[in-house]
Structures are given as structure tokens and as C-alpha cells.
Amino acid sequence: MATRPTRPSRPATTSAGSKARERFLNREIQLLAFNRRVLAQAEDATVPVLERLKFLSILSSNLDEFFEIRVAGLKEQLKLNAGSRGPDGFTPRETFRRVAEEVHALVIRQYVLLNDEMFPALAAEGIRFLRRAQWTPKQQAWVKDYFFREMMPVLTPIGLDPAHPFPRVFNKSLNFAVELTGRDAFGRDSQRAIVQAPRVLPRVIKLPPEVAEGENHFIFLTSILHQHVGELFAGMEVLGCYQFRVTRNSDLFVDEEEIKNLRLALQGELPQRHLGDAVRLEVADNCSEEMVQFLSAQFDLDEIDIYRVNGPVNLVRLMSVPDQVARPDLKFPPFVPGLPKPLVKVAKGRDVFDELKKHDILLHHPFESFTPVIEFIQQAARDPQVVAIKQTVYRTGTDSVIMETLIEAAKHGKEVTVVVELMARFDEEANLNWASRLEEVGAHVVYGVVGHKTHAKMALVVRRELDDPEEKSSKARLRRYVHLGTGNYHPRTARLYTDFGLMTANEGICGDVNDIFVQLTGLGKATKLAHVWQAPFTLHAGVLASIENEIRIAKSGKRAHIIAKMNSLLEPQAIEALYRASRAGVKIDLIVRGVCALRPGVPGLSDNIRVRSIVGRFLEHSRIFYFRNGGAGNERVMLSSADWMERNFFRRIELCFPVNDPRLKKRVIAEGLKPYLDDNAQAWEMDGEGGYTRKRPAKGVKVRRIAQEELLKLLSDSSIRA
């Protein structure tokens, strides 16, 4: 049984590119299909209402990045008159037109949902967003005081005339276009002005108890400014005041072939991110047509780039509301991440390194705690036997315990090496700051390889140990310990993203990781790794070889099976290999959270391929690759930082590492794959046209709630496993 499908519009097929379109789906359109699945979470009445509001905000945040990067890239191609077709057979112009059509429809549905369903549902729970007409005299007085006390001192109205040209409008900032009549103190009769709202001002203000008529009543900043905008233009009449917001190209341009110092080049480029070319104009739907045309001309945008919205132009700011509302009954139930049994022993005082000598440790976030990863680094920093710590940093946040620990370790004389990825999109500034602080205390800081983002998540600890501590004559030797992960070293996202982490003292894997660090910090040919697949050298070949192995097994008449879980599937050679495997009789299950360019279930092409997507409480982020490999204990289970995309295979430093311990291998299959394949309540199944249908259990069939809920029950709190 299924619910309403979400399906992209299908374009008219022309002979040019039609063959490609039969095999590959469009990346941008499939990314918007993912965002429709996010919107479906906001539409779902079974989701707690404050969480539905969060999903509505997440959709806006996703669309912001979509315009800043993907649409901006399309517009750059159009400027260059690029007419070449992508793997999907579409030209940039064809893709841009389809994208605009899809996004306009998506945004219309988003605001209808907000106004007609979300606000009433919230109001029914006493959470109200008061319009100006609803303010009581007491509230009006409070608002007036708030305006003069908190807003007026930081607002700078800019009248537009020959001496005051149109101001620079930062990316995604809140602004107001004001229509005026009359003359000011100098006799000027400018008819337009711009008021920019500083970022320090909250966009949603909770009314204090003494004036609110309910516990959770809010007012939008825009409402306050609309009410008192006339105070900024004394003696003039305000004819209209309209909020607007501009999204700009935010992809940093650094010519990696020309630069001599990546850090300096990036520092010079970052300030320009807020002022890139405009790609979208959001404006209140009551804005006069004359003002809309004036604004679009200032930003060199066409009608197709204008989004008229019935509500706040930035719904991302609604994300703050649930944190201000003390109603746990309207949110997802809280949980305490669990610990696997070996780490319970560590928590009771046992040394983590002693545990790792005995066996590998697997962590499944967020169901299991990220704290052991932090403690692994902290213990290494404190341990006098540890001589060196090496770690990669992609996203870690502005406030990171791990980074502070590495700084302390360097201060205390340990050899600390950190590979900082400066080109981690939207985290560049934070990473630059951490790099500076690390260098100040003597840590070795390198910025990876120019032209290849360091996306691998790995930490290496080198410890000087006695072979036998009980023997006086025992000799000391260096021993290595490693943490590898599918996600970032970021404690906050570790509570929101699903990821796996492996801690091991396996000499083969540790040796591979050490070689990769040497490769990143030094110079020389890539060494042959014994256990780990590494992009850009062996990861792509390893994936293709494993698919071909399943094809050989299937052709020999034996059972063959591939399960791959990832964020995105786009790389043409990998997709073609999966098509070949399907035709050979290999059963293929793909769990792709976001963009999938492969067409499943197409007769004669992909009959044996099933694609499903899970969108739920947590962001699915782990990458797991399972190859049956003949079965009977020979299954190959790999965890990775990489999706199956060209950039991950060929333009990044990525790792794909094996889970060798049979117990842990079973755990990855039982926790990371099986629940997602069995889910019959919140999984979305994809068809060959790129449409998605949400699964619902048939009458009489046992409901299996979303896989994430099962894993919370299994792993969180006091659950202890091997």
C-alpha cells in the first residue's frame, strides 16, 4: 500500500540526448525530488507539530544552498553559452527551465502548508504568531517600546537618490523596500528607500509573559518594522513596505592551478561570498509590481528568478521556535545515546587502548554516543605513552572539544598533525581559524592536496608501549590505533546524522592509514594499500571490481547480491556497472537518501534493481557497501566517507574501509542495511521515471515504523551489545 507519489514533471523528449535520458536521470531535478520528500515530513500529521515546523525550515535551508551552488552553476553555464549535454542528456538551459518550474511549484506548496495547515495546527496547541491586527493595546505599547529600544538604534534607512545609490545587499539578508511620498528636510522627494535588517536582530520574537495572552506567543520582526517604518522617515508618508531577500552565488572561486598559498587565496575570497552574482529574489507577494521590477533590475534578474511568497521570506529562521517552546509532547521524544559493551568497561576506568588490542569497536551514531570518539582523542592527549596524534578535519564547527584537545596535546609537546580541509563548503572560515590556533601552539597543519578535497574522516594515535609490561627486560615499540568514520568530527551533527565509526588497532588498517597521512603531508607516489580503498586512486576501481565479481558469481548460477547505502548515486560508470549486474541476475538494493541518477525497474535494463530513500528524524549520512561475495561468511562489508559521484571518486581524498570482525560485520548488516530494506511505513520507493512513492503497510500487515525508530529502541539508552 502506498501514499501519494512525488513525481518530477517529464520533459518532451527530443532525439538529441534521448538515449542518455533513457539511462540517467537529471541531478538537479532529483535533488528537488529529495526536497519534496523533506516537505512530505512537514506535511505528515503523524510527525510532532514542532518537528514539522523544523522540516519546513530545513527545506528552506536546502533550497538556499541549492540556489547558492546548483542554480548558480547553471547560470554561469548559461552566461558562457555552454550547450553541452550532461550524462542525462540535458543542456544547461533545459535543466534551468525545469528547475525553475519545479522550485516555483515547491515553494507555493511550502507556503500554503505554512499558512493553511502549520499555523492553525500550532495555534491549536497555543503557539501563535500574532499579526498586527491581532495585537492588544498592551502588546502594541510593548512593540513600540521594543522598536525604539532594540531596533531603531541599529537600523539605517537609505533613501535612493543620486547621492545614495542602491546599497550592497548581502546574500540571504533581510531587507525592506519602502515606497514613499513627500519631501524630506532637505527638500528631496525620493520615492524609494531601502532598510536593511542587521543580522543581530532576532527574526522571531517571543512576547514576554506580562504582555502575552498565552505562554507561547510570537511576533515576527517584519511585523514590528511594518508597524513603525514611518518612524524612520519623519514627515514623509509610507505608501508601502515590502520585505525581500536575495540569494547569491556562494561557490568560492579559487584558481587552484595559479595559487601559491591556498590559505591566503581563500582568506581573500571569503569576504566576496556575500556579494556574488544574484540568482534568486524572494519578495512579499503584496509588493507592488513597480517595486518588483525595480528590485529585479537592480539584481539583473528575470521574471523566472522572482519568488513571490505569502509570509516571511526566510523560513529558515523558524528553526529557532521549537527551542523557545517548552512542549516536549510536541517534539520527538528525547533519548540518551547508548554504548557498546567494551566502551562500558572503558567508562568504568578501563583503558581504551587495552580494549582495542583485544578487538575492534564499532559505533553507530546517533543511536550510540559520539563521546567515545572525543574521549579517544582526549585520552591520547593525556597519555604520556602517546607520542603522536594525526587527524583530518573537514567539518568540526566553531566550538569543538576535539580541536581544543588537539591544541592542548600540542602545547604539552606531543607531535600533532592536522590535515585541515580549507575548501569545506560553508565551513571555510571556521577551519581557517582552527588552523591558525593549531599553528600558534606548534602543531603541524597541512591543507591536503590542491585540487582534491580531503573528505576522509580518520584519526591516528601512535603510542610507545612495552611488549610485556610485566617483564623488566621487555622492549618498547610503537603501536598505532585508528578511528575511521563515515561522518565528521562534529559532536552536534553526530546527534543529528546517522553514521558509523570504527576504532581499531588492526596493524594492516593502521598501516594503510599511516601511509595516507604520509601521502597527504609529504610528497611521493601513492603506495599500494593492503585493506583500504582510497580515492582518487583505488576506490572507483575497487567498487567496479566488486560489482564485476558479483556478475561473475551470478553467471555461474550462484546467488549474487549487492546492497549499497549512500547519499548520492551519480557516477556514470558505476551506474552502468549496476545495469550490467542487473542484466546478469544480480539482486541489487540501493538505499539512496538524496540524488539517484540510476533508473530502477526498467525492463531489460534494471529489472533487478530496487531504489529506496529514507527521510526521517535523523539525516541519513552513512555509506555502506555490501557485496555477498559468495556468502557463507565471505561477505564483503565496507564503510566509507564517499558517495558514488565523480567528485568523490576522482577529485577528493576519500576512504572506504572494511569491517573485518564477523560480529561487527553482522551488526552493520543488521543495523545499517536490513531495517532500511524492511521499512514499510516511511520508506520511499523510486520508479524508473524518477518519481517516489511512500510505502504504507497494507491492511493486516505489521507496521514497521521508520528504521531509525527501531534503532533508537535497540541501541540507545542502556542497551549493551557485543
Burial call 68-82: b when 16+ CB within 10 Å, e when fewer? bbbbbebbbbeeeee
Q: Torsion angle of alpha carbons 11, 17, 21, 24, nearest 10°? A: -130
Q: Are 683 and 693 in contact (CB under 8 A)?
A: no
- Cell numbers that stand for 288 in this block: 507592488
Nearest CA among 166, 168, 161 for reference residue 184:
161
Which residues are CB-contacts of 198 (< 8 A; sequence separation ≥ 6)?
154, 155
Q: Are 132 and 226 in contact (CB under 8 A)?
A: yes
The sign of the dihedral angle between the CA atoms of 228, 232, 236, 239 is negative
Residue with cell 592536522: 418
CA 556 to chain centroid, in Å, comes to: 42
Helix-, strand-, coil-residue percentages of the chain, each rounded to 5: 40, 25, 35
Q: How far apart are CA 420 and CA 418, in angstroms?
A: 6
Q: How many CB atoms lie within 10 A of CB 124?
A: 10
Angstrom distance (rounded) from CA 318 to CA 118: 12
Q: What are phi and psi of 190, to 5 degrees?
A: -55, 140
Which of 455, 483, 490, 540 does the annotation list as catalytic?
455
**160: amino acid identity, one letter:** L
Nearest to 436 by CA among 449, 450, 422, 423: 422
455 is catalytic: yes
Three-state DSSP state, 319 = helix
What Å distances lie between residue 686 and 2, 127, 419, 661, CA to CA?
12, 37, 39, 33
Angstrom distances, CA of residue 90 to CA of 13, 14, 20, 74, 390: 10, 10, 9, 12, 44
Strands (DSSP E) found in 440-541: 444-446, 453-454, 457-466, 476-485, 497-504, 533-535
What phi, psi does 502 have (nearest 5°)?
-120, 125
Helices (H), 348-427: 352-358, 371-382, 401-411
What does the buried/exposed string (b/e) look like for 335-365 if buried means 16 or more CB atoms within 10 Å of the residue's CB?
A: eebbbbebbeebeeeeebbebbeebbbbbbb
Burial class (CB in 10 A: 0-12, 13-18, 19+), 715: buried
Q: How far is CA 652 from CA 86, 463, 658, in A?
A: 21, 29, 19
Do residues 201 and 151 make contact, with C-beta atoms less than 8 angstroms apart?
A: yes
Cell representation of residue 157: 534607512
A 10 A CB-CB count for 155 gives 18
Strands (E), 304-407: 306-309, 361-365, 386-393
Residues 687 and 665 sit within 8 Å (Cβ to Cβ)? no
Q: Under a CB-based contact definition with an 8 Å cutoff, are residues 25 and 686 in contact?
A: no
Amino acid in the structure at residue 584:
A
Which residues form the catalytic set?
455
